[in-house]
């Protein structure tokens, strides 16, 4: 059994940049307080092209954010501090112009992957609860049903625009536990 922390989109644009999520700076200390307890830490990254469909200029709802190879797309450096390279994995999402991909595991093939094993415990957290965390949680739950691992949610390490309601409702519907440090 391996313990895996799945940290969603801890990127500068979401923390203090183009698309700042309220409370994002507070999740960093919460995540840093627990990251060393995990065998692996997987980081997802929005990695958008300059003409991504989610941008207002392309008819989407969001300001330009997390454009690949820009400072705003970088992880906050504090979350990487002290983590040995062999414990980290990086998962890019939203890499093509269309469609929008809030979830980190859209099109994921559970039979052809090396991220998860039967018996793992995967704890999800990050930015933002109502969008990328929720959709990644839904993806992760479906994958866990096929592979056979446990999913938990670290709410203290999750920022939100307005509320945790959608995440809490999904957790209740699927019987998922909250991770407590």
With 0-12 CB in 10 A as exposed, 13-18 as middle and 19+ as buried, what is 7?
A: buried
> Of these residues, 7, 24, 73, 128, which one is catalytic?
128
Rounded to the nearest 10 degrees, the angle between the axes of helix 134-147 and helix 165-174 is 20
Is-catalytic flag, 69? Answer: no
> Of these residues, 24, 65, 73, 159, which one is catalytic?
65
Strand partners, 178: 153
> Of these residues, 54, 76, 104, 129, which one is catalytic?
54
46: three-class secondary structure by DSSP: strand
Q: Which residue from 139, 174, 12, 146 is spatially nearest to 79, judged by alpha carbons?
A: 12
Is-catalytic flag, 54? Answer: yes
Is-catalytic flag, 48? Answer: yes
Is-catalytic flag, 46? Answer: yes
> Of these residues, 12, 13, 24, 48, which one is catalytic?
48
> Of these residues, 53, 74, 100, 156, which one is catalytic?
100
Is-catalytic flag, 132? Answer: yes
Is-catalytic flag, 163? Answer: no
> Of these residues, 7, 13, 93, 101, which one is catalytic?
93
Is-catalytic flag, 114? Answer: no
Is-catalytic flag, 173? Answer: no
> Of these residues, 9, 13, 120, 135, which one is catalytic?
9
Is-catalytic flag, 73? Answer: no
Residues known to be catalytic: 9, 46, 48, 54, 65, 93, 100, 128, 132
């Amino acid at each position: 059994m391996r313990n895996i922390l799945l940290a969603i989109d801890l990127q500068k644009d979401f923390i203090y940049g183009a698309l700042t999520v309220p409370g994002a700076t507070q999740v960093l200390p919460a995540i840093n307080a627990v990251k060393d307890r995990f065998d692996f830490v997987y980081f997802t990254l929005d990695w958008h092209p300059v003409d991504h469909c989610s941008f207002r200029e392309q008819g989407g709802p969001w300001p330009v954010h997390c454009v690949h190879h820009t400072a705003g797309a970088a992880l906050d450096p504090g979350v990487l501090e002290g983590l040995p390279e062999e414990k980290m994995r990086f998962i890019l999402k939203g890499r093509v112009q269309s469609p929008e991909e809030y979830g980190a595991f859209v099109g994921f093939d559970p039979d052809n992957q090396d991220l998860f094993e039967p018996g793992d415990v995967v704890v999800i957290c990050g930015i933002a609860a109502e969008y990328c965390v929720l959709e990644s949680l839904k993806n992760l739950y479906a994958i866990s049903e096929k592979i056979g691992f446990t999913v938990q949610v670290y709410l203290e390490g999750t920022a939100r625009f307005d509320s945790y309601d959608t995440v809490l409702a999904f957790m209740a519907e699927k019987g998922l536990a909250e991770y407590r440090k």
